[in-house]
Structure 1
Amino acid sequence: MLEVVDSHIHIWNLDVLNLPWLNSCEGVIKRSFSIDDVIKAYGPHDLNFLGGIYVEVDCDDAIKEDDYIFNLNSPKILAKVMRARHLCGHMRLPIGIVGVREPLHIDSSARGRCLETSFVEGLEVLAAQDLLFESCNRPDELEDMWKAASRVPEAKIVINHCGNVETLSEEYKRAMTKLAALPNVYCKVSGFPTSDPKFVKNLLDFISGTFEPNKLLYASNYPVVEQYATFDEHLRAVREYFEDNPDIFSKNAKKLYKLNKPQIFASVIKLRPEKAEYYKKLHADPFSGVNKMIRACGITKYQIFNRDDLLFSIMEYTGDDFEYDMTKMAEDPETQRWWKETDPCQTRIEGAYKHEWWADMDMVYDLNKKK
């Protein structure tokens, strides 16, 4: 059964929070929504809804919104993206979040905001703390977002709702193509009307052909989706197009939002002395795409050490299915080409099992292990 992590949900209680922007919305979403409402929306569908990523709702009191969401303690709220009133070097960052959003698409946000020095400094702070920035832009300012993201390439930026797409103009496609080419920019597949099947197909053809598969995330935008489509129509359209791809519907989100507990793997192999210099030369400048595939498979840290004729590796994996990800890596043509160069430089250690190339090592001590 398909597992679903919804990377973009909103909930609010209007008895607690004030959302001025709701005054301009149609009646269908001008009420309170709970996490139970989200669960009910997924109920009729043949899938396993694991939960969603809560994204701030532009409340007039961000601290009150923080208190409301954190006090819910719902296991279906898998991670939280809270409001940054103004990205800058000294912005407020609540503990326990995976990222922030400063809405750039609303009337109160000045045009060109993401090119301001304070905004770029805020991206640098988020990058240093390994926190995401959720980017909700006006379509005609996607080029500005690309310029800002280019200045801080280590910042992880998630483009909300396919860039709030309105038409597949050349300007839109050019800006999104530039964003997709950056190493740490992701895109949520949401935010588009479903009334025109041809538009939906053309949009998804463009998005899936521009962003790498590991950088696409299913999102519903519940309940705001009801303003331009319906929750059911959107879910069915994305499922049909992506054929229930587990990466799109859950695995990419699990990795990006750190929903899995990191696993540490250590292993050892012998280095052929006559190949040692060539092996080190290869790793000083890996083939294009090798590091990209490693990261796409949920490996966030990977180091190799050498002593005499031994190589030791330490790897941190944040995916939820190691065998699935390693199979994906093994099927990658660029990785296969890489292994054809590196494998002849190595040989199994004595005592390695038949199925092992790099032999696993067991941990015997951890300074930070809690008793």
Structure 2
Amino acid sequence: MLEIVDSHFHIWDLDVLRLPWLNSCKGVIKRSFSADDLVKEYAKVGVDFKGGVYVEVDCDDAIKEDEYIFTLNSPQILAKVMRARHLSGHMRLPTGIVGVREPLHIETSPRGRCLERSFIEGMGVLAERGLIFESCNRVDELMDIYQAAAQVPELKLVINHCGNVSELTDDYKAAMTKLASLPNVYCKVSGFATEDKTFVKNLLDFISGTFDHGKLLYASNFPVVELYSSFAEHLNAVREYFGDDQDIFSKNTKKLYKINKPQVFASVIKLRPEKAEYYKQLHADPFSSVNKMIRECGITHYQIFNRDDLLFSVMVYEGDDFDYDMAKMAQDPETQRWWRETDPCQTRIEGAHKDEWWASMDMVYDLNKK
């Protein structure tokens, strides 16, 4: 059964929150929606729904929305993206969040807002704190968000709803290609009408051919999806194109939003003295494709240290299936090419198990646990 971790859903209680934008929407979503409603939608299509990422709903009172969501303590909310009323170097940031969104597609957001100095400063603050920025843009301002993101390349930025596209213009393709070229830009596969099957295929062909596979995230956009499609039709369209790809539907989202508890691995191997200099040269300028695959496989921290003929490594893994990711890495042709260069520089330590290359080490002390 397909496992789904939804990278983008909304819920709201209209007895608690005011959402003025609903006044211009069709009646189908002008009511309250709970996490249980989302669970029921997934149950209808027969998938294993694990929960997902709550994304702010453009409430007229961001603090009240924070209180409402945090008080719910819903098991379906695995991560929270809350509202930044105005991105800046001194913005309010709630605790317990993975990122923020300042909607750039709404009437009250001036054109060019993401190029203002305060906005860029706010992006820098998010990057420093390891928080994500969710970018919901007018389609004709996608090049603006590229220009902003290029100034803070270390920031993880997620393009919502394929950039809110309705037509595959040359300008749209150019802007999205620029965005995909940045090291930390992701794209949510959502937001498109499903009635025109040719458009859907052409869009998904473009998105999947432009963004790295590890940077594509399935998102339902529940319940707003009902304004341009239906929950089931949109999910089926994504499944028909990608199949039941666990990276798209679950694993990429878990890694990006750090939904899993980090695992730390330490290991040791011997360095052949006659190969030491070559080994160090390789790692001074490693294959970029190898670093990319390491990150794609859920490894967020990896360092190798050398003392005499020993190499020690420390690795932090934040994926949800270590064996799956390591098998994926082992099947990557560029990683295999890298290992053909590095493996001859190394040899097992005495006492290593037959199935160990790098021998694992046990932790004996952790400052943060004392």
Q: Could you state the TM-score of these two structures normalised by the residue count of structure 1? A: 0.99
The equivalent of 2:290 in structure 1 is 290
CA deviations over 1:326-363 (Å, ceiling 9, x no partner): 11111111111111111110000011111111001111
The equivalent of 1:138 in structure 2 is 138
1:265 equivalent to 2:261? Answer no
The equivalent of 2:105 in structure 1 is 105
Aligned counterparts of 2:296 and 2:320: Cα–Cα separation in 1: 13
The Cα of 1:290 is off from its aligned counterpart by 1.1
The equivalent of 2:7 in structure 1 is 7
Aligned counterparts of 1:128 and 1:202: Cα–Cα separation in 2: 37
The Cα of 1:275 is off from its aligned counterpart by 0.6
CA deviations over 1:230-283 (Å, ceiling 9, x no partner): 001001110111101000000000000010000000000000001111111110
Aligned counterparts of 1:159 and 1:199: Cα–Cα separation in 2: 19
Counterpart of 2:44 in 1: which secondary structure? coil
Aligned counterparts of 2:66 and 2:275: Cα–Cα separation in 1: 56
Counterpart of 1:43 in 2: which secondary structure? helix
Aligned counterparts of 1:322 and 1:42: Cα–Cα separation in 2: 26
The Cα of 1:109 is off from its aligned counterpart by 0.4
Aligned counterparts of 2:204 and 2:310: Cα–Cα separation in 1: 47
Given residue 35 of structure 1, which amino acid in structure 2 is its aligned partner? Answer: A
Gaps of 5+ in 1: none
Given residue 296 of structure 1, which amino acid in structure 2 is its aligned partner? Answer: E
The equivalent of 1:188 in structure 2 is 188
The equivalent of 2:47 in structure 1 is 47
The equivalent of 2:152 in structure 1 is 152
1:19 equivalent to 2:23? Answer no
The equivalent of 1:274 in structure 2 is 274
Aligned counterparts of 1:73 and 1:145: Cα–Cα separation in 2: 33
Given residue 135 of structure 1, which amino acid in structure 2 is its aligned partner? Answer: S
Aligned counterparts of 1:206 and 1:331: Cα–Cα separation in 2: 25
The equivalent of 1:206 in structure 2 is 206
The equivalent of 1:339 in structure 2 is 339
Percent identity over the alignment?
78
CA deviations over 1:99-141 (Å, ceiling 9, x no partner): 0000000010010011111101000000000000000000000
Given residue 324 of structure 1, which amino acid in structure 2 is its aligned partner? Answer: Y
Aligned counterparts of 1:285 and 1:351: Cα–Cα separation in 2: 31
Q: What is the alpha-carbon root mean square deviation over aligned residues?
A: 0.6
Aligned counterparts of 2:22 and 2:129: Cα–Cα separation in 1: 33
Counterpart of 2:214 in 1: which secondary structure? helix
Q: Trace 1:226-265 onto structure 2 (pairs within 5 A).
A: 226-265=226-265
Counterpart of 1:363 in 2: which secondary structure? coil
Counterpart of 1:264 in 2: which secondary structure? strand
Counterpart of 1:303 in 2: which secondary structure? strand
The Cα of 1:46 is off from its aligned counterpart by 2.0
Aligned counterparts of 2:7 and 2:348: Cα–Cα separation in 1: 42
Counterpart of 2:82 in 1: which secondary structure? strand
The equivalent of 1:177 in structure 2 is 177
Given residue 263 of structure 2, which amino acid in structure 1 is its aligned partner? Answer: Q
Counterpart of 1:38 in 2: which secondary structure? helix
The equivalent of 1:356 in structure 2 is 356
1:311 equivalent to 2:316? Answer no
Given residue 59 of structure 2, which amino acid in structure 1 is its aligned partner? Answer: C
Given residue 216 of structure 1, which amino acid in structure 2 is its aligned partner? Answer: L
Counterpart of 2:238 in 1: which secondary structure? helix
The Cα of 1:288 is off from its aligned counterpart by 2.2
1:94 equivalent to 2:94? Answer yes
The equivalent of 1:162 in structure 2 is 162
CA deviations over 1:51-73 (Å, ceiling 9, x no partner): 12100000000000000000000
Given residue 273 of structure 1, which amino acid in structure 2 is its aligned partner? Answer: P
Aligned counterparts of 1:210 and 1:59: Cα–Cα separation in 2: 33
Counterpart of 1:153 in 2: which secondary structure? coil
Aligned counterparts of 1:19 and 1:30: Cα–Cα separation in 2: 9
Counterpart of 2:305 in 1: which secondary structure? strand
Given residue 329 of structure 1, which amino acid in structure 2 is its aligned partner? Answer: M
The Cα of 1:216 is off from its aligned counterpart by 0.3
Aligned counterparts of 1:189 and 1:115: Cα–Cα separation in 2: 25
Given residue 167 of structure 1, which amino acid in structure 2 is its aligned partner? Answer: E
Q: Could you state the TM-score of these two structures normalised by the residue count of structure 2? A: 0.99
Given residue 97 of structure 1, which amino acid in structure 2 is its aligned partner? Answer: I
Aligned counterparts of 2:37 and 2:323: Cα–Cα separation in 1: 35
Aligned counterparts of 1:8 and 1:319: Cα–Cα separation in 2: 19
Counterpart of 1:314 in 2: which secondary structure? strand
Gaps of 5+ in 2: none
Given residue 24 of structure 2, which amino acid in structure 1 is its aligned partner? Answer: S
Counterpart of 1:368 in 2: which secondary structure? helix
Counterpart of 2:288 in 1: which secondary structure? coil
Aligned counterparts of 1:329 and 1:150: Cα–Cα separation in 2: 29
1:67 equivalent to 2:82? Answer no
CA deviations over 1:81-106 (Å, ceiling 9, x no partner): 00000000000000000000000000
